[in-house]
Amino acid sequence: MPREKILIVDDDPVVIKTITGTLNDLDCAISATGHGATAIDLVRRERFDLMLLDLVLEDINGINVLRSIRSFDPDLVVILLTAYGSMDSAIEALRLGANDYIIKPFSPVDLHQRVSEALARRVPGRSTTFKTHADQGYSFNEGTSISSRQEQFLQRGCLLMDLYKRRAFINDEALNLTTSEYNVLWTLAWHAPEAVSPQRLLKQALGYDASSKEAGKIIKWHIHQLRKKIEADAREPMLIKTIRYQGYAWVG
């Protein structure tokens, strides 16, 4: 059976080496290039399952690489590699069809988890291993991590979440969530009915620090994506509420 193929597009050889080493145990065929034009040509000629795309390249920026690839390959899974300074571009890329993003400098655990999960969704039957919140050491209450609480299941009204298997259900219907979406939803549910600020959500769910403005942009996108998957009408949300001047709250 052919192995899944991953294409790394980054003009930093150290980043390419780090990513390749991190993903080595996934048993995938990994190719890499530092040029956007070469990446476009490779995707035209070969079938890839997943691309890790840096938004800042020397020849063509990542937005244009993505736009070109989406014109002839709408199904390729694209995970962006971005820095806080280019978050506006990352959000634009998500609107153009990127599947996820990772902020540099990234954790190898986070990278492995995102790629492993994305491949599992793309390739039916492919096994995957997940690093839980406890593995990553996220703290959901000051001084108290999930691992020390020994909590596997969390239920809030119609929502049931399994931390170990990383599955979520609303009214017994399974949700198809990305790693980031799952982490954000778990954090909201854990704190419910308390509102959680974007900065706190970003830190506790995704492990990143950012200014209030940057965190607001990033979390707003994740909440938008979550609402599309869990609300009956994302324009009139009933489960995740925006609390003015405070953040977001799970009220389902």
Give the tens place of pLDDT for each residue, 102-149.
Answer: 888 888 888 898 898 888 877 765 555 444 333 443 333 433 333 333
Does 165 lie in the same domain as 86? no
Q: Which of 40-49, 54-63, 104-113, 166-175 has the highest mean pLDDT?
A: 40-49
In-domain check, residue 13: yes
Of 31 and 213, which is predicted with more confidence? Answer: 31
Which candidate, 176, 189, 187, 190, places its Cα nearest to that of 225?
176
Same domain, 145 and 245: yes
Using the predicted structure, report yes or no on whether residue 169 has a pLDDT greater than 50. Answer: yes
101 in the same domain as 183: no
pLDDT at 139 (0 to 100): 38
pLDDT attached to residue 114: 86
Structure tokens at 136: 């990553």
Mean confidence (pLDDT) of the chain: 84
Single residue among 58, 88, 122 that ends a domain in this structure: 122
What is the CATH number for 59? 3.40.50.2300
pLDDT of 60 above 50: yes
Nearest alpha-carbon partner for 11 in 67, 58, 79:
58
Residue range 188-214: mean pLDDT, rounded: 89
Assess whether 199 and 243 both reside in one domain.
Answer: yes
Does 117 share its domain with 171? no
Cβ–Cβ < 8 Å for 74, 97: yes
In angstroms, the CA 177 to CA 90 distance is 19
- Quick one: 40 and 115 in the same domain? yes
Is a pLDDT exceeding 80 seen at residue 84? no
Is 73 in the same domain as 176? no
Check whether 33 has a pLDDT greater than 70.
yes
Q: Give domain status of residue 17, yes or no.
A: yes
Query: Is 103 within a domain?
Result: yes
Domain CATH number, residue 192: 1.10.10.10
Pair 202, 210: CB distance under 8 Å = yes
CA 154/CA 140 separation, integer angstroms = 13
- DSSP assigned state of 233: S
Are 58 and 151 in a shared domain?
A: no
Q: Are residues 246 and 137 in the same domain?
A: yes
Least confident of 2-6, 230-234, 238-242: 2-6
DSSP codes of every residue in 22-40: HHGGG--EEEEES-HHHHH
91 shares a domain with 154: no
pLDDT of residue 7: 98
The residue-averaged pLDDT of 68-89 equals 85
Percent of the chain with pLDDT over 70: 86
Whether residue 204 lies inside any domain: the answer is yes
Most confident of 55-64, 82-91, 201-210: 55-64
Structural domain that includes position 104: 5-122
pTM for this model (two decimals): 0.66
Report the alpha-carbon distance of residue 205 to residue 140 in Å, rounded: 9
Q: How many residues does the chain have?
A: 252
Could you give the number of structural domains in the chain?
Answer: 2
Instruction: Judge if 85 and 9 occupy the same domain.
Output: yes
